[in-house]
A and B are shown apart, each in its own frame.
Chain A
Amino acid sequence: MTVMEQRGAYRPTPPPAWQPRTDPAPLLPDAAPYRVLGTEAAAQADPGLLRRLYAQLVRGRRYNAQATALTKQGRLAVYPSSVGQEACEVAAALVLEDRDWLFPSYRDTLAVVARGVDPVQALTLLRGDWHTGYNPREHRVAPLCTPLATQLPHAVGLAHAARLKGDDVVALAMVGDGGTSEGDFHEALNFAAVWQAPVVFLVQNNGFAISVPLAKQTAAPSLAHKAVGYGMPGRLVDGNDAVAMYDVLSEAVRHARAGGGPTLVEAVTYRVEAHTNADDDKRYRADSEVTAWREHDPIDLLEKELTARGLLDEDGIRAARDDAETLAADLRARMNQDPALDPMDLFAQVYAEPTPQLREQRAQLRAELAAEAEGTH
């Protein structure tokens, strides 16, 4: 008889204090991703919101193209493209109030720009002139995070602190499908649920962690299902449907702001381009798969809805593209100027007051620079 069989014979009754704390049913995500575009519900969507989303998607697509071109010119060290994921990026920024905070990962430059950060400053990390180009406090945008999922507990701590201070601030934290395997993902979700912190976790499931497909990343029915184990609602949404993204994220933000605690949102989307310019995606996926997803393009989906409702015509499309072109031209022009770098910045802000050791090293570099300037070095 196996151990399992022996245990089967002995069925302990839980002690009286034990009760399930939460009915898991309301926390479970729907079986299929939530969609609006292409359904009857789309007719209810606010025309102003649709237009706003559309303009941002078109800008986002053009920004992605321009940034990728800049890597080919050597102006950016690397660029992780979010082509195909623009609806997630744009919705994440647009659902937040000014006082809220965004915690992006390295692929989320677009969300950072949609939040109002200067496009050049948003690319500083990837250009390589400094780690963070913008002041996080100015736009309430945390630095782009390169280690996976480590920014999630920051979002929890910030949201928790805000609530302790009595501020109705929400933090929205972004992570990829690969990031959900990291320990920090688990710890952040657990802390958020225990503390009922006003946080929204947005997982952009774009199919691959560099080359590793979702099937090798998790055995869970969906990433949204993971929420149930923490005691928070999980929501599954079509990440290429900008309206659905906006709906689900706004609902999660409202829920958090009202004191309802965190939500885990899984956006099912696809990374149409390679992980970065350094990646060869032909080694791990078929062209046919990419083509199928290109046909489920977030801009096309929204454009169809807008056109069908008479909210967009050729002139409107051209206007959106012109606006995006202006953004790209400005980005190109400014990125083609060499950034002014001060080597002495290396020692700035390691500590509030430099240690004696750093003061010595600073003096050394200053002397080297002076010698270089005099041509004696």
Chain B
Amino acid sequence: MTTVALKPATMAQALTRAMRDAMAADPTVHVMGEDVGTLGGVFRVTDGLAREFGEDRCTDTPLAEAGILGAAVGMAMYGLRPVVEMQFDAFAYPAFEQLISHVSRMRNRTRGAMPLPITVRVPYGGGIGGVEHHSDSSEAYYMATPGLHVVTPATVADAYGLLRAAIASDDPVVFLEPKRLYWSKDSWNPDEPSAVEPIGRAVVRRPGRSATLITYGPSLPVCLEAAQAAEAEGWDLEVVDLRSLVPFDDETVCASVRRTGRALVVHESGGFGGPGGEIAARVTERCFHHLEAPVLRVAGFDIPYPPPMLERHHLPGVDRVLDAVGRLQWEAQR
């Protein structure tokens, strides 16, 4: 086994590399969206793709999300693999009808004759000081739609590996990119990118014995930091990174909760009707006899995403996670 020099790389670079490698390996892969070509995307995630593969394969489209996704449906019907960029979370809403009425169910309504291998890249979540409509966490909407895979990386290596898997998938994938992690760096070897990660598997990022923090995307670094801080309180926290919300990895999550007996779900989107409710219910149904305390949630408030100067009060941070960890000492509280 050769050792390779690991260099720091950003999540944005890993995503670009994933698209580049996918386009080089498969001529049917097409990147499209507003500003993805000449500009390289407003986050520069598609930087250089138009130059390398031509404007027919990395296309600046008219500014119309339903049109972009709707055209991608037709392109996929003709055998292409469109990778669509939605620029910002809340900008994807005009495309919801296409996503829900067509993209998610074309395979099913045609009895498998017409699978749609479309990747919808959605930069999502807050923490970058964006103004209104630039920081939503829409994952619950996507999760509630059968026929879609919903994937969200939290590390540089996963950004590469999961995006390659999403593009290679014969089913539509909503690929949620935590935009506040775009510039997070990690040791990664861009000359020899890591393997493609199968969609649907959670991973234990930090082993522990006292409780399980179940999280994904932008909240993973928060949970890891909280776990570090909790050590001082005598808590040995396990952190599970879901990576894929659909399909959901009950096995990894429940194995962890059975080990620790306590579980806390952490995410940025609102708690009411949010992913945490589903996860808490699944864990309770499967691990009830192992639980020492109710499954708790730390989520964003149930409010429209706040203006940037107030977002730090809304986003679940380390303190809020640690408070909830304290509440997991159920016996002591009773």
B window 69-119: CB within 8 A of A = 69-80, 82, 94, 97-98, 101-102, 105-115
Docked pose: A360 CA to B151 CA in angstroms: 21
Taking CB atoms, residues of chain A closer than 8 Å to B67 are 153, 156, 184, 187-188, 190-191
A window 178-220: CB within 8 A of B = 183-184, 186-188, 190-191, 194
Q: Is B221 an interface residue (CB 8 A)?
A: no
- Asked whether A135 and B110 contact (CB < 8 A) given A153-B66, A190-B67, the answer is yes
Return the CB mask of B231-260 against A: 1 if under 8 Å, else 0.
000000000000000111111000000000
A window 76-133: CB within 8 A of B = 130-132
Docked pose: A155 CA to B115 CA in angstroms: 16
| Best-buried of A130, A164, A194 by chain B (most CB within 10 Å) | A164
A window 334-373: CB within 8 A of B = 345, 348-352, 355-357
Q: Is A21 an interface residue (CB 8 A)?
A: no
Cβ-defined contact, A158 with B78, below 8 A = yes
Q: Is B200 an interface residue (CB 8 A)?
A: yes
Docked pose: A136 CA to B111 CA in angstroms: 10
A161 touches which one: B62, B75, B169 (CB < 8 A)? Answer: B75
Q: Is A137 an interface residue (CB 8 A)?
A: yes
Q: Which residue of B lies closest to A173 (CB)?
A: B74
Taking CB atoms, residues of chain B closer than 8 Å to A237 are none
* Residues of chain A at interface, number, CB under 8 A: 41
A window 32-55: CB within 8 A of B = none
Return the CB mask of B213-231 against A: 1 if under 8 Å, else 0.
0000000000000000000
Taking CB atoms, residues of chain A closer than 8 Å to B71 are 153-154, 156-157, 160, 188, 191
Q: Which residue of B lies closest to A192 (CB)?
A: B71
Q: Is A152 an interface residue (CB 8 A)?
A: yes
A window 146-186: CB within 8 A of B = 147, 150, 152-162, 164-165, 171, 183-184, 186
Taking CB atoms, residues of chain A closer than 8 Å to B102 are 147, 150, 154
Cβ-defined contact, A164 with B56, below 8 A = yes
Q: Which residue of B lies closest to A148 (CB)?
A: B97
Q: Is B61 an interface residue (CB 8 A)?
A: yes
B window 137-178: CB within 8 A of A = 146-147, 149, 169-171
Q: Which residue of B lies closest to A135 (CB)?
A: B113
Cβ-defined contact, B61 with A191, below 8 A = yes
Q: Is B64 an interface residue (CB 8 A)?
A: yes
Q: Is A142 an interface residue (CB 8 A)?
A: yes
Number of cross-chain contacts by CB at 8 Å: 142
Q: Is A298 an interface residue (CB 8 A)?
A: no
Give min CB distance, B314 to chain A, whole Å: 30
Docked pose: A154 CA to B56 CA in angstroms: 18
Cβ-defined contact, B107 with A157, below 8 A = no
Docked pose: A352 CA to B70 CA in angstroms: 21
Docked pose: A41 CA to B101 CA in angstroms: 45
Docked pose: A357 CA to B278 CA in angstroms: 13
Docked pose: A356 CA to B252 CA in angstroms: 12
- Asked whether A132 and B146 contact (CB < 8 A) given A147-B101, A184-B70, A194-B62, the answer is no
Docked pose: A356 CA to B171 CA in angstroms: 16
Give min CB distance, B82 to chain A, whole Å: 8
- Asked whether A143 and B109 contact (CB < 8 A) given A150-B101, A156-B71, the answer is yes
Cβ-defined contact, B107 with A349, below 8 A = yes
Give min CB distance, B81 to chain A, whole Å: 11
| Best-buried of A137, A153, A357 by chain B (most CB within 10 Å) | A153
Docked pose: A14 CA to B62 CA in angstroms: 24
Cβ-defined contact, A191 with B62, below 8 A = yes
Give the interface residue-count category, chain B: 35 or more
Taking CB atoms, residues of chain B closer than 8 Å to A188 are 67, 70-71
Taking CB atoms, residues of chain A closer than 8 Å to B64 are 186-187, 190-191
Cβ-defined contact, A131 with B72, below 8 A = no
Docked pose: A191 CA to B69 CA in angstroms: 11
Docked pose: A155 CA to B82 CA in angstroms: 15
Cβ-defined contact, B111 with A130, below 8 A = yes
Cβ-defined contact, A351 with B149, below 8 A = yes
- Asked whether A154 and B62 contact (CB < 8 A) given A136-B113, A184-B70, A356-B250, the answer is no
- Asked whether A137 and B114 contact (CB < 8 A) given A147-B97, A150-B98, A150-B102, the answer is yes
Give min CB distance, A93 to chain B, whole Å: 19
| Best-buried of B61, B78, B149, B246 by chain A (most CB within 10 Å) | B78
Docked pose: A131 CA to B250 CA in angstroms: 31
B70 touches which one: A130, A152, A351, A355 (CB < 8 A)? Answer: A152
Taking CB atoms, residues of chain B closer than 8 Å to A137 are 113-114
A352 touches which one: B69, B97, B109, B170 (CB < 8 A)? Answer: B170
Give min CB distance, A264 to chain B, whole Å: 16
Taking CB atoms, residues of chain A closer than 8 Å to B106 are 143
A window 311-355: CB within 8 A of B = 345, 348-352, 355
Taking CB atoms, residues of chain B closer than 8 Å to A154 are 70-71, 73-74, 77, 102
Docked pose: A161 CA to B147 CA in angstroms: 24
Taking CB atoms, residues of chain A closer than 8 Å to B251 are 356
- Asked whether A157 and B109 contact (CB < 8 A) given A190-B62, A191-B61, the answer is no
B78 touches which one: A147, A165, A349 (CB < 8 A)? Answer: A165
Give min CB distance, B254 to chain A, whole Å: 11
- Asked whether A160 and B112 contact (CB < 8 A) given A150-B98, A351-B107, the answer is no
| Best-buried of B70, B113, B149 by chain A (most CB within 10 Å) | B70
Cβ-defined contact, A158 with B109, below 8 A = no
A window 264-300: CB within 8 A of B = none
Report 12 cross-chain contacts, Cβ distance below 8 Å, ordered by A residue: A130-B109, A131-B109, A150-B66, A153-B69, A153-B70, A153-B73, A153-B74, A154-B74, A162-B78, A164-B56, A348-B108, A356-B249
Q: Pick the 5 closest A-B CB pairs, nearest first.
A: A157-B74, A153-B70, A187-B67, A355-B247, A157-B71
Q: Which of B's residues lie within 8 Å of A, judged by CB?
A: 56, 61-62, 64, 66-67, 69-80, 82, 94, 97-98, 101-102, 105-115, 146-147, 149, 169-171, 200, 246-251
Taking A135-B113, A156-B67 as given, write out 18 further A-B residue pairs in contact, using a Cβ cutoff of 8 Å, ordered by the A residue number. Answer: A131-B109, A136-B77, A137-B113, A150-B66, A150-B70, A150-B101, A153-B67, A153-B74, A155-B74, A157-B71, A158-B77, A159-B74, A160-B74, A188-B71, A348-B111, A349-B111, A350-B107, A351-B147
Q: Which of A's residues lie within 8 Å of B, judged by CB?
A: 130-132, 135-137, 142-143, 147, 150, 152-162, 164-165, 171, 183-184, 186-188, 190-191, 194, 345, 348-352, 355-357
